[in-house]
Amino acid sequence: MKMRQGTIAAAAVVVGVAALSPYSSAAGPVPAARITAAQAAAVTKLVRREMATQKIPGLAIEVAVAGRTVYARGFGVRSPGQPVTNATIFPIGSITKQFTAGCVVLLAEQHSLDLDSPVSRYLPKAPNGERVTVRELLDQTSGLADYTEQPALQTAVGKDKLTKLEPERLLAMIARKPLKFKPGTRFEYSNTNYLLAGMIVEAVGGEPFGTFLREHLTEPIGLHSMQYLATSIPAGSNVTRGYTMKDERFVLVPRITMSWAQGAGAIASDAHDLVEWDDAFFHGRVVAPNFVRTMTTAVKEDYGYGWVIDRLRGERMVWHNGALPGAHAMNAFFPRSNMEIVVLTNVVSAKPEAIAKEVRAIVARP
């Protein structure tokens, strides 16, 4: 979906319901690698208040400084009668895009693909593939229509919620639609870009996207909870179910296939693995620092490769969120203070972005 009012919305389908970091910043206080008891209590109070106000059934949050966790806690329920813990796994929606971009850039770093080659070099049947480069997929300047906005997708998932949707079927939904603008000239958020990016990883890497992701990205840096989703409910015991509000009551969202989301939004994780990911990525343990800089430098507007480049109260903030039926997540990194804040929820109407920003204000206080 499109970026609106400072929020990147993840790929979403509503079915019957709703080395050192290359960054520096001249402003903003630098906290110690700990928080005080008073700060921790303030964060807990904030989360409880926002859960009540925003009507959030379950939430997990983790804050880390220099890779060291300073606050981690679960609140509410992950499913009826089951509490959220700091190890509960949630779908993370379009936060997936930074992992998809990481896979593509890893292949570029290994000289297996060229970011400035046309998409058609790797995917001969891609819509407008001869006119769009791989780089223009990653920085969202391709001009390709968004397949998640097509009624055909709603129909396909609504007809049989667990039928696997092949990427070729998804691309067919926008195959006849013209480019919205000349590639490279404008930014417009489109999940099609990252559907194609995931397909390129498969074509060049020679294995399914989920397998490549696990073997070359998540396992090497020890992200043990992270998984590529088959359905909207993650695998395992300590996992969340998604909720929606109906008649002022929480209602479980039905299980649906996640094959529609793929490289645009099909990853689930606990909060700690996202913190570990941030620490590894921004410190050059995923791709080299020069590639980190490329991926987190705004090209058009404020978007890099799967990251939004922003400022919060004078401090640089690099982030992305993700929204799915029954989930809304936020992953934010503050380069100057070397701080990560992750907020995961199990209702799409939640505003984890606002919670993360207020948490940053609390932990920045002396």
Could you give the number of structural domains in the chain? Answer: 1
pLDDT at position 339 is 96
Which domain does 8 fall in, by range?
3-364
Q: Mean pLDDT throughout 228-244? A: 97
Query: pTM of this prediction?
Result: 0.92
pLDDT at position 366 is 65
Q: Which amino acid is at 35?
A: I
Alpha helices by DSSP H, listed for the chain, are: 37-54, 96-109, 134-138, 151-159, 167-172, 191-205, 209-213, 271-282, 289-295, 352-364
- Which backbone phi and psi does 323 adopt, to 5 degrees? -130, 130
Give the pLDDT band (50/70/90) at residue 163.
confident
Task: Give the model confidence (pLDDT) of 47-70 as tens digits.
Answer: 999 999 999 999 999 999 988 999
Alpha-carbon distance 125 to 306, whole Å?
A: 24
Contact 324, 232 (CB under 8 A): yes
Tokens of 110: 């290994």
pLDDT at position 33 is 65
Letter string b/e over residues 114-142, b meaning 16 or more CB atoms within 10 A of that residue's CB: ebeebbbbbbeebbbbebbbbbbbbbbbb
Provide the CATH number for the domain around residue 165. Answer: 3.40.710.10
pLDDT at position 247 is 85
